[in-house]
Structure 1
Amino acid sequence: MLKIALGQMEVLPGRPDINTDKMLSMIQHARNERADLIIFPEMAIPGYLLGDTWEQPSFLRDCEAFGQQIIAASRDICVIFGNVAVDWDRHGDDGRVRKHNACFVAQAGRLIGTCIKTLQPNYREFDDTRHFFSLRKLALERNQNIDSLLTPVTVTIRNDKYRLGCIICEDGWNDDYNIDPIAILRTQGPLDLIINISSSPFTLGKNNKRNRVFSKQAQETGVPLIYLNTTGIQNNGKTVYTFDGFSTVYNRLGEIIAYCPPFTETLDYLDLPVKAAGQDLAPTSVPDDSTIDSIYLTLSYGIKKFLQSIGMNKVVIGLSGGIDSAVSAALFASILHPENILLVNMPSKFNSQTTRDLAAQLAQNLGCLYTVMPIEQSVEYTASQIAGTPITNLANGRQCNLLVSSFVLENIQARDRSSRLLAGIAAAFGGGFTCNANKSELTVGYSTLYGDQAGFLAALADLWKYQVYQLANYLNDKVYGREVIPQAIIDLMPSAELSYDQSVDQGKGDPIIYAYHDYLFRAFMEHWNRATPEDILNWYSQGTAVLEQKLGCQDGLINKLFSSPREFIEDLERWWRLYTGMAVAKRIQAPPVLAVSRRVYGFDHREAQNRVYFTQEYLRIKDRLLSTM
């Protein structure tokens, strides 16, 4: 029987001093509880998403020094932890000092094993190969088999020897690699325990998949498996990731016998009958992480931690009376004290009394600070100044005036609200103002640069519109237990209300048909093999039922929306041109996005400003469909 301490800790990226102090405290607590073994996450000392901080030798020296403190603290207890391993005598492919992402095993005040990460993810938000030298690459350099470098670590506890197979995060997600670290460890003789230390960001539904993958690994090896993950938030500049922990223990049958609560820093203990491979312990069920509950939990947790990390405790939210700003307000109000939230309604002549009243009602329901600041006068002044001030051609002395079109006037309104009012109000209030954009808007740039796409954090920008509505109902039903977001806001036609053509009282609203376009845009952006117009039109040509099945939208919807292939194609091309065109420029300058989904805008969705492109096959399918009309 081993008494194992699971150190599911919040790792502060770039603060090895704070992380080490926390680890030392947990080690002492585990020692007092007579634990035999304590496990910490991947990169527990430095943090994981650090950008090019990894290029600072002085930072690396600090990480090494703090690692030595952890090793020294391993008297009377075995400590397994993640840190950077530096080979000062060699360099990586970038010419800098060589660094490894490593798992250290310490006991009796000394280092008894160092395991280097074998597989390095280089997709989504991960950029490991930029900084670290993998075990796979090390074996190639030395002209050795990985088998000779990837070996179990043997520890002795109360005169019994235990062979530990220590791997790091991606080493357990090996289906698409030609190397299987766990299979290699099995060839080294019998294992008593597999330990996977991780720094794995939350993704909606990811733990459900992990449980399937890791359960299978425990079954196939016949060895208990411990997955130890970190909590907290880390970022790579444009994208903020939450880390949910959810550390889990599997017995030899692949059954889950223990787990740490998600989004909670904790030091949990488990008495594991290693010789019986954990199968004597009763299995337990774990919560589903693919529901709206998990979306709320990660958003609430991420916002709270992000505010703490930047030292902000006051927030200004532009409150239009629409669904996005309403959800944003209710979300922040569930985190901050109402007196630290200032809700601002900024009507123009285009805003209906309906949305003005709904904004006031929501503010009343939340109990936040509230003000109304009309923008009509300043918008008119800006428009008249632009149109009324002559522009001189200094080469010939000729003058002309600019035309303020209705489209330009819409943008002036949006920028007046954000760049002028909200920015100024936030500075005076001593806080920041939010960006309330959703993922559908961000996809096609249905927002104004320096206007409603401005703010310190885009907390809803990884939610499709249908998820925003789900969250609104969840906030009412589960978080507040009453109707804080008026049902009229949920039922209202979504509209920017920037012109009379967007009058909500007349049922006019956004050009995006969310019931369909949410799913079309998701195919462009979130599908692992991302769809292009060629894929969409190919599925459409096979029948609208095929397309609806591929996209996941409502059956029969496409024929209701588009009466002919020409209409369908015009709609498809309109949004594709925006998604790959002007929207890219807007996204590059957008605020940081709080990640929820399997692909999020920012560093997870790397893009360049290129010209719009349609493949040759798409053009052939298009010609064929249109020629039959």
Structure 2
Amino acid sequence: MKIAIAQLNPTIGDLANNAKKIIEASQFAANQNARLLLTPELSLCGYPPRDLLLDPSFVKSISIELQSLARKLPSQLAILVGIVIPNPCAYLKGEKPLFNSVAWLENGQIKQIFHKRLLPTYDIFDENRYFEPGQQSNYFELFPDPQSSTSVKIGLTICEDLWNNRNFWKRKYYKYDPLEDLLQVGVDLILNLSASPYNIGKQKIREKMIKYSSKHCNTPIIYVNQVGGNDDLIFDGNSFAVNKKGEIVLRSKSFEETIDFINLKVKNNDLSLSRINDEIKIEEEEIWLALVLGVKDYVRKCGFSKVVLGLSGGIDSALVAAIASEALGPENVLALLMPSPYSSQHSIIDAEVLVKNLGINHYKLPIKDIMKSYDTLLESLFKGTEFGIAEENIQSRIRGSLLMAISNKFGHLVLSTGNKSEMAVGYCTLYGDMNGGLAVILDVPKTRVFSLCRWLNREREVIPHSILIKCPSAELKPNQTDQDFLPSYEILDEILERLIHRHQSVSQINEAGFDLITINKVIKLVAGAEFKRKQASPGLRITDRAFGTGWKMPIANRWKTNYS
């Protein structure tokens, strides 16, 4: 039995075009004589729809589109489509109003509906807000072809349903394990329809877990995942299949829409070897592809075609410019060079060389005269005070205003260029360099910015070498460097990794070789910068602990970390 795996890139709420993608995939699959087509979780409406689910007209439109879709699909093909449907018992039983479901479509009809059983409520997930968990084990029987006398019993899981194997995780996160329940009814094949967001190393965990499950259950598993960017989330695809022995027999491409095929040998109910695309082994390449896809989809799905960014001659804006150029084409990227009297000549030259290397459009707007007008206007009010952070931030805010003027005049989306290290400790200016519609490298620490640029230069010099070797500086006053205020980025990023990602205590970080004064300073800076993070642009997520949807720290609080 030939099975098609459609790794699709839906746009949230674009029901008609999402349905069109499913129709096109089904026609292609039918032409290849497939019997079954798999699509990702919530493939008809896109994942995650968030509070669109509170709009009754949105939910009703999904139902109407599903009915229409069923009539347009090839009759000889069974298709599994991710949908949202109302819970008819919600008001009678005090349950949640909706189900996260999958519809089995065939011969112009909706043959069966299956409900997701495990609803995640951690990190970026908040499914209990909207959905009622399904209570029954999900499986169906499918005849491989019209002449078959024996059917294949297929178990269906939706994303999180497959992530509660107590033997693999050494504990259970939920009361029920849908996988165990499917084994009780004796399924021949297990499917998993997912919308699993990307973070560094996620695919290795998925493959390890599902290989373990298939081997110990002696049952083949096919996993199909959404691909593409939706707001701050990036979905990497990486759909794959494993046989009864826990061996990978198919792997789709990363970060691309694909349709792949695999055969289920009905005689022994196992999967044949199919195309196995190479896994990405270099993290920098994986991150690069994720960020490029994230920018491309955010710009496209938000209705923009061109972007603008400030180019300082520093490494952060250089990387963002390179990502944008790759994602959108250099002709759709405008770089503003906005030197001040404190901008070094080598930074101006570096920015001009980068523009030439990338082939992007640029315009130079010196801000010296604007700075003087501010000085004149504020002279009487600031009389008797020393030059300090207020004057430094004015420069940044001038640049932010110019970027927004370009955005308003020409309809370009502003890309902000701050990195995760800066955002963590508040080394950034509200309404200045934080201005923007998308923070491209908000989840990329400074040390990783350097490694990405070095990787990008592996074949030719894209990022000028002089940018890679100079001391990072905001250049808002003479001879300024970031390390006038911060620890070295190697030390800072390691402390932030331990604090934010590993949730280590002060004593644990201290035992790892970091001095208490530095640790305490970093903790204080992180806590004090929360009000800035709440006002930041959406930032693309590449780690399992990003300053975005899953970050839910209070701004006003008096908790003091025990520094001892």
Alignment of 1:215-230 (within 5 A): 215-230=211-226
- Alpha-carbon distance change, 96 to 19 in structure 1, aligned in 2, over 3 angstroms: farther
CA deviation vs aligned residue, 1:61-109 (integer Å, no higher than 9, x gap): 111122223444363222222111213453399x797210112223334
Paired with 1:217 and 1:17, the residues of 2 have a C-alpha distance of 36
Deviation, structure 1 residue 384 = 2.7
- CA pair 57-74 structure 1, distance change in 2 beyond 3 A: farther
Aligned to 1:199: 195
Pairing 1:110-509 to 2, within 5 Å after superposition: 110-135=109-134, 139=135, 149-158=136-145, 159=148, 160-174=150-164, 175=169, 176-188=173-185, 190-235=186-231, 240-278=232-270, 281=273, 284=276, 286-288=278-280, 291-388=283-380, 403=385, 405-419=387-401, 421-477=402-458, 481-502=459-480
The separation in 1 between residues aligned to 2:309 and 2:376, in whole angstroms, is 28
> Which residue of 562, 569, 574 maps to 2:521?
574
Secondary structure, counterpart of 2:390 in structure 1: helix
**Structure 1 residue 278, shift from structure 2 partner:** 2.9
Change beyond 3 A, Cα 1:298–1:88: same
Q: Of the candidates 598, 601, 607, which is equivalent to residue 553 of structure 2?
A: 607
Shift of 1:116: 1.2
Report how many residues are paired. 553
Q: Which amino acid aligns with 1:537?
A: S
SS of equivalent to 2:97: strand
- Could you give the per-residue CA deviations for residues 577-625 of structure 1, whole angstroms, max 9, x where no partner exists? 12112x111010001101111121121111211335334xx35xx3xxx
Q: Which amino acid aligns with 2:182?
A: L
In 2 relative to 1, CA 32–402 (structure 1 residues): closer, same or farther, beyond 3 Å? Answer: farther
Are residues 406 and 539 of structure 1, via their aligned partners in 2, closer, same or farther at CA, if it must alter by over 3 Å? closer
Aligned 8 A contact 1:14 1:47 in 2: yes
Deviation per residue, 1:550-592 (Å, 9 max, x gap): xxxxxxxx4xxxxxxxxx32322222112112x1110100011
- The answer to whether the 8 Å contact 1:319/1:326 transfers is yes
Q: TM-score, normalised by structure 1?
A: 0.83
**Contact between 2:87 and 2:132, CA under 8 Å: does it hold in 1?**
no
1:402 CA drift (Å):
8.4
* Percent identity over paired residues: 31
Deviations 1:263-321 (A, max 9, x none): 22122222221433436537947403661110000111111111111222222221111
SS in structure 2 of the partner of residue 305 of structure 1: helix
Taking only aligned residues, the RMSD between alpha carbons, in angstroms, comes to 2.3
Query: Residue type matched to 1:433 in 2?
Result: V
Alignment deviations for residues 210-253 of structure 1 (CA, whole Å, 9 cap, x no partner): 00000011111111101011112223xxxx11112111111001
1:16 aligns with 2:23: no
C-alpha distance in structure 2 between counterparts of 1:289 and 1:230, whole Å: 21
Q: Take 1:458 and 1:92, find their aligned partners in 2: how far apart are those partners?
A: 45
Name the amino acid aligned to 1:37.
L
In 2, the alpha carbon distance for the partners of 1:367 and 1:111 equals 51
Letter in 2 for 1:499: K
280 and 429 in structure 1: CA distance in 2 versus 1, 3 angstrom threshold: closer
Residue 32 of structure 1 aligns to which amino acid in structure 2? N
Alignment of 1:523 onto 2:484: no
Q: Secondary structure at the match of 1:195?
A: strand
> Residue in 2 aligned with 1:627?
none
2:371 match: secondary structure: helix
Give CA-to-partner distance per residue, 1:486-513, whole Å, 9 cap, x none. 1111000001111125069xxx756241
Is the 1:253–1:279 contact (alpha carbons within 8 Å) kept by the matching residues of 2? no
**Does the residue aligned with 1:91 lie in a helix, a strand or coil?**
helix
| 1:41 and 1:228 in contact (8 A); partners too | yes
Give the AA of the match of 1:584.
E
Tell me which structure has the larger Cα radius of gyration: 1
For 1:228 and 1:131, the matched residues in 2 are separated by: 23
Partner of 1:81: 81
Equivalent residue for 1:146?
A: none
1:365 positional shift: 2.2
Secondary structure of residue in 1 paired with 2:533: helix
Distance 1:447 1:340, change over 3 A: same
Cα separation, 1, equivalents of 2:558 and 2:321: 36
Hey, what's the Cα distance between the residues in 2 that align with 1:573 and 1:539? 10
Structure 2 stretches lacking a partner, 5+ long: none
Kept in 2: contact 1:86–1:97 (CA 8 A): no
Partners of 1:607 and 1:539 in 2: how far apart? Answer: 21
> Which amino acid in the other structure matches residue 488 of structure 1?
S
- Cα contact 1:207–1:289 (8 A) shared by 2: no
Equivalent-residue separation in structure 2 for 1:62 and 1:279 (angstroms): 37
Moved more, 287-296 or 209-218: 287-296
Instruction: Tell me: CA distance 1:387–1:127, structure 2 relative to 1, closer, same or farther (3 Å).
Output: same
CA distance, structure 1, for counterparts of residue 399 and residue 209 of structure 2 = 49
Change (3 A) 1:490 1:271: same
Q: Encode CA deviations 1:17-50: one digit per residue, 9 max, x unaligned.
A: 2111221222233223221111111111111212
Change in Cα spacing, 1:314 to 1:111, as seen in structure 2 (3 Å) is closer
